[in-house]
Amino acid sequence: MKIVPDTSIIIDQKLSKLIEENFENAEVLIPEAVQSEIENHANKRKDIGYNGIDELKKLRNLADDGLISLKYVGRRPQLDEVSLARGGEIDAMIRDVARKYNATLITSDRLQSQIAEAQGIDTYFYQKEAPQIVKTELEKYFLDDVSSIHLRENTVPMAKRGKPGQIELIELDYVPLRYNDLDRITNELLAQTQLRQDAFIEIEKKGVKVIQFGSLRVTIAKRPFADGFEITAIKPVNRLDLIDYDVSEKLLKRLSDDAKGILVAGSPGAGKSTFAQALAEYYHYDLEKIVKTMENPRDLNLDDNITQYAPLEGSMEDTADILLLVRPDFTLFDEVRKTRDFEIYSDMRLAGVGMIGIVHATRAIDAIQRFLGRLELGVIPSVIDTTIYIEDGEIRSVYSIELTVKVPTGMIEADLARPVIEIKDLETEELLYEIYTYGEQTIVMNVNKPKDSKEDKSSVDKIVTRVIRNEIYRIVPNVAVEISLLSNNRALVEIDPEYAGTIIGKNGKTIEKIEERAGISIEVQDLEVKEIEDKKIIPVSISGNYISLNFIKEDIGASYDIIVEGEYLFTATVGKKANIRLKRSIEMGEIIIKAMKKDEPVYARLRNDDQY
């Protein structure tokens, strides 16, 4: 008897069993198209491809044992035919082989069976046993307070349990898992995914699968993506309502009336998603708003009344286009991470959609700072008006964001007024931060930071000093200069007398341009030549292509003028290894080497002002 198996019966691994039961001594003709399709699946690292290869090996063993004769027949399909496999091209080639050899076609694909019978081909349809929905081995690991399971080959199974802020890592068994154990768990999970309405494959790429399995988000990683076989499953432990949080009347009123651009920020595992879910359901049920989500992957544990959207054909931008047609009142974006995500969040907010964005941040201000550089400064308050910071499952702080025009804190000149983003504590209305531009810099100023010591010198002072220094170095590179702020609107520049005229310029035009860029008036004086007592000799060593000026640990972070043979050479900051390194090949390096050959010492003089 001649039989021709199709791809379905091979990848289901049922043909070898059928032969042993019903088709001993059969002549098995395997179309090259079947082998090609299985090989294609395996090249894409799909499990069905490897299953098919294992079944072909079993058939070869049966042939070697004399139970069947095995032959590969037909032609190998072209690349375009393989790409059209879903359209039925490969199935048609397999039916042609069965017809040509007057053989029985064996398949577990009902559609293939029906078409073959319609074409008059003798067909054996293998009816698969109806699979049952069962509790998987992976699900059995989850106890009531377990939030995540971590399985990896050659290690014991681990789990995290407890609530946010009270998480502990425990061992579930003392026996390490083998590769075959993880493979069994994976195959069972994939089989059940096909049966369950609440399960689907979210992401499938080379070496990784992400499956949403009920409330579980399961990530399966293999080589080459990971260095070993690994399964990670995460389950939301708590499902809370907004009333379960310590929400003040002031915050409730803001959420109800004013908040349209909300950021929910916190570190990983802090409870951001749990709070965002509660907030989304509050908007839907209490405020009667239409709420949708944008997620990748879709793992939020939300009520069925809230539709959860994934990236459309891999693009969150296309999902946003659809949402603008759907017109929800609020959209929950989980999570805002890449630059394009920030742009999509902003586009939807500016289009009038209320937005709730989940953002990873270790401080509330960091969540806002992640928008800097991605959006124009003046647009940010139109996109974000409220930031809620979550830590250990609780609301730690709530910031309001507003745009105003004022003189930034720490400045006094009226002509320094500019657009300033004010970030206030929602409950106390205390001003905490200001964000504004100064020259070409964007400043995030902590207005409550103490400034009564040299170490606590304000960010504005540092920026002003840096702007002045950069402008001077642009005109006269590496000139000896010291800068000090006399007041909030006046600075003193002490410079090498040889270059003072260059910095002032004809009729004072050069210094006026520097003043304009720095936003402060500048007085220029000659730099006094300091005595040798103000300097110290620095040990010098040479290693390979580099020269190292060696300081002591107490000098780390300090700025020094380097002086050779009585001449100022350059200014640098002592690094973390208590040294200043420079290449031998540059001009300054050659000068130092020449001085060393003449036994001339290298001096360092501490600067009077901060370098940065």
pLDDT digits (tens, 9 = 90+) for 133-177: 888 999 888 877 888 999 999 999 999 988 766 788 999 888 999
Beta bridge partners of 293: 308, 332
The token pair at 138 is 């992976």
Strand order in the sheet with 354-360: 307-309, 291-295, 330-334, 354-360, 261-266, 386-391, 394-406, 418-425, 431-438, 441-446
pLDDT band at 107 (very low <50, low <70, confident <90, very high): very high
Q: Work out the end-to-end distance of the chain between its first and last CA atoms, rounded to an integer number of angstroms.
A: 87
CA distances from 271 to 243, 308, 332 (A): 15, 19, 15
* SS3 of residue 316 by DSSP: helix
| 407, 394 contact by CB (below 8 A) | no
Question: Three-state SS string across 44-83, please?
Answer: CCCHHHHHHHHHHHHHHHHHHCCCCEEEEECCCCCHHHHH
Calpha distance 336→85 (Å, rounded) = 38
At 602, phi and psi to the nearest 5?
-105, 125
pTM: 0.58
Q: Is the pLDDT of residue 532 over 50?
A: no
Helix (H) or strand (E) holding 388: strand 386-391
| Rg value, the chain, Cα | 35
pLDDT digits (tens, 9 = 90+) for 244-288: 888 899 999 999 988 999 999 998 878 898 899 999 999 999 999
* For residues 541-546, average pLDDT: 86
Q: Are 185 and 229 spatial neighbours (Cβ–Cβ below 8 Å)?
A: no
- Residue with tokens 């032609």, as numbered in its chain: 75
* Separation between Cα atoms, residue 176 and residue 178, nearest integer Å: 7
φ/ψ of residue 574, rounded to 5:
-70, 130
pLDDT, position 560: 86
Q: Give the H/E segment covering residue 20.
A: helix 15-22
d(CA 344, CA 333): 10
Instruction: Say which amino acid occupies 56.
Output: L
Digit-coded pLDDT (tens) for 304-346: 899 999 899 889 999 999 999 999 999 999 889 888 999 999 9
Q: Please, are residues 19 and 42 in contact by the beta-carbon 8 Å criterion? A: no
Query: How many contiguous H segments (helices) and E segments (strands) does the chain have?
Result: 19, 32
Q: How far apart are CA 271 and CA 298, in angstroms?
A: 17
Cis amide linkage into residue 335, ω under 30° from 0? yes
Write the pLDDT tens digit of every residue in 357-416.
999 998 889 999 999 888 888 899 999 999 999 998 889 999 999 999 988 887 766 667
pLDDT at residue 164, rounded to an integer: 67
- The arithmetic mean of pLDDT across residues 52-60, rounded, is 91
Which of 207, 228, 223, 186 lies closest to 44 in space, CA to CA? 207
**What pLDDT, on a 0 to 100 scale, did the predictor assign at position 478?**
64
Instruction: Judge whether 34 and 41 are in contact, CB under 8 Å.
Output: no
| 193: helix, strand or coil | helix
- pLDDT recorded at residue 413: 63
d(CA 64, CA 198): 45
pLDDT at 162: 81
Does residue 294 sit in helix, strand or coil?
strand
